[in-house]
Structure 1
Amino acid sequence: MSIENQKIYPKCQTITRSVEVGGLTKSQLIMKLQENSILLNEYGELLLANEKFTTSDTKYSLETVELTVSNLGFFFGATTAQIFKRASELGLGLCPPELGPYLRLEYLDQPEGNFGSSMQHQAPSGSITIASEVLTEDEDFPKGFYLRRINGELWLRGYRADHLHVWNPGDHFIFCQTN
């Protein structure tokens, strides 16, 4: 397919979800993840433990949009800053960090990712990255969450990516609808 035929948001295929967020304390949210056998990597644990990761006392609903980097017009990949800027120009917003655990708890039928095909410093096959503000500018601290299913097990994982990292055109992101 030629680049001219590629569809750009909003004229592309997306997955929309309505996600209920909030109403639990941080410790209740962590307990709920454990009760549902959601696995965390070290970066995911660091994000949840950080004092800047907060949860809302009040329940609220978010409308999310899942799309690929190429759906934003980046057919050869783009940096996080480029992706977030284009999404904003197209009327999509960043998600609150607490969306990650709540979406993981609601999205239990995520298709299996291919465990063997991941390359280092690239988003794993089948993963979905939550587009959110970073909690800290510290280069060594995780930048956000991504969802993945590996060998039937659901994961809420944190990731690190510096400002030079280029995401692949097929990498999936979730944004919040702003209107």
Structure 2
Amino acid sequence: MNIKIQEIYPNCHMINRTVEVGGLTKSQLIHKIRKKSILINKLGETLFEDDKFTTSDSKYTLQTVELAVQDLGFLEGGTVSQIFRKANQLGLKLCPLELAPYLRLAYLDQPEGNLNRHRQHKAPYGSITVASQILTEDHDFPKGFYLRRIDGALWLRGYVCDDMHIWEPDDHFIFVKQ
């Protein structure tokens, strides 16, 4: 009998990226996103418009890691607070909110999401959620951004969820390496 042991970060499959962040105002960032024909949903626009979403005047570089929820040890899925707490215990940090638009601009070859497998009230197949500090406990206010490619179009999308939402084991998150 051959039983495979679940590998947990850092001993698992992961995607590492280096992303340059900062140096643009919010309006300059939006202009650059639109120039690349990247689409933003209404929740993403709400995040951009909020005063709590700030951008850095100075450029800086972040090392990121993309992992599935199961790579953090959640074989049955987990809530945002469970996922973020476990990532922190494993030496990963939450991303600054401004990382998501810069990551979207840098990651232009994201594979197409699977349109044939729709999941209501779940992260879409092929999406990558950028793990960032939640700005407010208001359940109707966007919690952060995720990246997605649908019908060839690149998206930077905001999302909402409550504290009880269970993320699937195969949902992907991006964290900052410490």
Shift of 1:136: 1.7
Deviates most, 45-54 or 114-123: 114-123
Residue 47 of structure 1: SS of its match in structure 2? helix
Asked whether 1:118 is paired with 2:121, we answer no
Letter aligned with residue 114 of structure 1: N
Aligned counterpart, 2:128: 128
After superposing on structure 2, the runs of 4+ consecutive aligned residues of structure 1 that deviate more than 2 Å are: none
Distance 1:67 1:119 in 2: 20
State the Cα deviation string for residues 95-140 of structure 1 (Å, max 9, x = none): 0000010000000000000123121110000000000001222111
Shift of 1:3: 7.8
Asked whether 1:152 is paired with 2:152, we answer yes
Aligned counterpart, 2:105: 105
Aligned counterpart, 2:139: 139
Distance 1:135 1:27 in 2: 20
Map 1:79-90 to 2 at 5 A: 79-90=79-90
Give the CA RMSD over aligned residues.
1.1
Identical positions, percent: 64
Letter aligned with residue 97 of structure 2: P
Scaled by the length of structure 1, the TM-score of the pair is 0.97
Report how many residues are paired. Answer: 177
Distance 1:41 1:118 in 2: 18
Map 1:60-71 to 2 at 5 A: 60-71=60-71
Aligned counterpart, 1:51: 51
Residue 109 of structure 1: SS of its match in structure 2? coil
Asked whether 1:72 is paired with 2:72, we answer yes
Residues 136 and 3 (structure 1 numbering): CA distance in 2 closer, same or farther, change over 3 Å?
farther
Distance 1:3 1:43 in 2: 43
Distance 2:114 2:166 in 1: 21
Aligned counterpart, 1:91: 91
Distance 1:92 1:37 in 2: 31
Distance 1:47 1:54 in 2: 10
Contiguous gaps of at least 5 residues in structure 2: none
Given that residues 3 and 75 in structure 1 are in contact (C-alpha distance below 8 angstroms), is that contact kept between their aligned partners in structure 2? Answer: no
Scaled by the length of structure 2, the TM-score of the pair is 0.97
Distance 2:52 2:83 in 1: 23
